Amino acid sequence: MILRLGSRGSRLALTQAEIAADALRSANPDLDVALVPITTAGDRDRSKPFGEIGERGVFVKEIEEALLAGRIDMAVHSAKDMTSTDVDGLAVAAFLAREDPSDALCGAAGLAPGMRIGTASVRRRAQLLALEPELSVEPLRGNVDTRLRKRGERGLDAIVLASAGLDRLGLSAEIGHRFDPDELVPEAGQGAVALQVRAGEEELAAAVDDAETRRRVTAERACVARIGAGCLAPVAAHHDGDALTALIAAEDGAWIERRRGDDPVALAEELLAAVP
């Protein structure tokens, strides 16, 4: 059987797709996996802020459309790029075992007043400014290699990227500091790879599903879904295995509300009620 696995075409995305393909082949030695690179809206426009391109999901929409149309048999995504609710007709058949969910500071060992930090994430921006209000946080987009290069070209003191992506690309040496998830709460699903199929075809990837990763990421996504976060909403959620930590903040870090507990919906309600 040949399984067409759709993925973004960046080096990180294809690396993650190969990891997924290897897991699928190990579970089914008779399976032949063919990678199908697909360009998304987020890949085509690398200059505009995410909110000007579309809502959350700018890196998955075209891949999901290809899956629904039958041009591919399965999609592989960074779970953090997905919308917080499943698209009609599609389902997440598997989450691969999660890697480091933390955010990484590249170029410096810590934050200090006056530093110029690059990131396109409003979630990261809000929390960075809450940790150090005297930072200058500047927009920075592009794939991992591009952002690392732009740090030097623009004379930035540091940039913030996902630790898992750097680890998967063999770029861990670029990391000066890994933020503890309690220090800088990650994006829902960060560090996890999701395999998406058409509803009813979950068996295609069921053998590679990591139950603990699914439990944690499902709770994170449920919390964010209840808050109704789009790309421009500084919202974060992370389950450490014991409980869920969720956060909502002002984009400039002027205020942050954080809650911890077991019920994703209850936490979301508490956060919404606490917004100034």
Q: How far is CA 171 from CA 145, 175, 178, 257, 273, in A?
A: 9, 8, 13, 33, 41
Q: Take residue 187 and report the two structure tokens written for it.
A: 């994006």
The Cα–Cα gap between 65 and 220 comes to 24
Q: Which of 73, 81, 103, 209 is catalytic?
A: 81
Q: Are 196 and 92 contacting, i.e. CB atoms less than 8 angstroms apart?
A: yes
- Residues 191, 186: Cα–Cα separation, whole Å: 9
Nearest by Cα to 176 from 103, 238, 234: 103
* CB distance 73 to 3 below 8 Å: yes
193, 211 contact by CB (below 8 A): no
Specify whether 81 is catalytic.
yes
Catalytic residue annotation: 81
